[in-house]
Amino acid sequence: MVEKIAYRISATVLLVAALAIVALLAMGLTRADAGSSAAQEQAVAANSAVAPPVEDIAAVEPIADNTDDIIDKLPLSDTFVVKRILQIDEPFVHGYYKWDDEGVPDGELVVTVDLKAESISVFRAGYEIGAAVITFGDSEKPTPTGVFPISQKDADHVSNIYGSPMPYMLRLTNDGVAIHASDVKWGWGTRGCIGVPLEFARRLFEQAKLGDRVIVTNGKMLGMGDAIL
């Protein structure tokens, strides 16, 4: 009899202990789920605070990987495409120029200068209509590179710094850098200006307008179909 009672007591104790363990496990899981849900809610809230909704991100234009892509996305007024390069069969030497605008349509005028090639090109509507060998700045006053709008035109300009004539002057900078007619000879330099043959300067002066862009580079070569800022 005693053994039966002891057995029943032991069984009851074991049952109570098992129920207690099950209850503890259930409470633990509930808390874990609650903690997990709270953590997820906190993470979502944090992410929402620092990032826009997914649809807003998808609407943002991706950044181009290279300059060509950027140029392609610019308005047409900010770029032009080379549609013709002048055929030059003669030696391209100092004092030489070529001009041919016959049959070329009206359009935006852009002037490019390559200091490394010592040359200037005039494009209208993407067609090269003029090219010449140039003189440019010396070591004391180098010609700056960049994009410069023509800010002044003066056919009979005289330098107020050096007192020298600058026929058909097209001003590029406020400190005196300009395109103008000059005696273009090998080995000669300027005080930052771009010197071109007299007749070339006259023709360019006739067609250029205030605001037209002059792009000065040091080694930028253009070919058919190329676009340039």
For the domain covering 75-228, report its CATH number. Answer: 2.40.440.10
When pLDDT is cut at 50, 70 and 90, the band that residue 185 belongs to is: confident
Structural domain boundaries in the chain: 2-59, 75-228
Cα–Cα distance between 141 and 143 in angstroms, integer? Answer: 7
When pLDDT is cut at 50, 70 and 90, the band that residue 23 belongs to is: very low
pLDDT at 225: 67
The structure's pTM equals 0.64
Mean pLDDT, range 15-23, rounded to an integer: 45
Q: Give me the helices (H) in the chain, please.
A: 2-50, 54-59, 67-73, 198-207
Is residue 12 scored above 80 in pLDDT?
no
Cα–Cα distance between 42 and 45 in angstroms, integer? Answer: 5
Place of tokens 């809230």: 45
Is residue 176 scored above 60 in pLDDT?
yes
Select from 27, 55, 225, 10 the least CA-distant residue to 127.
225
Mean pLDDT, range 216-225, rounded to an integer: 81
Is residue 13 scored above 90 in pLDDT?
no
Rg (CA), the chain: 39
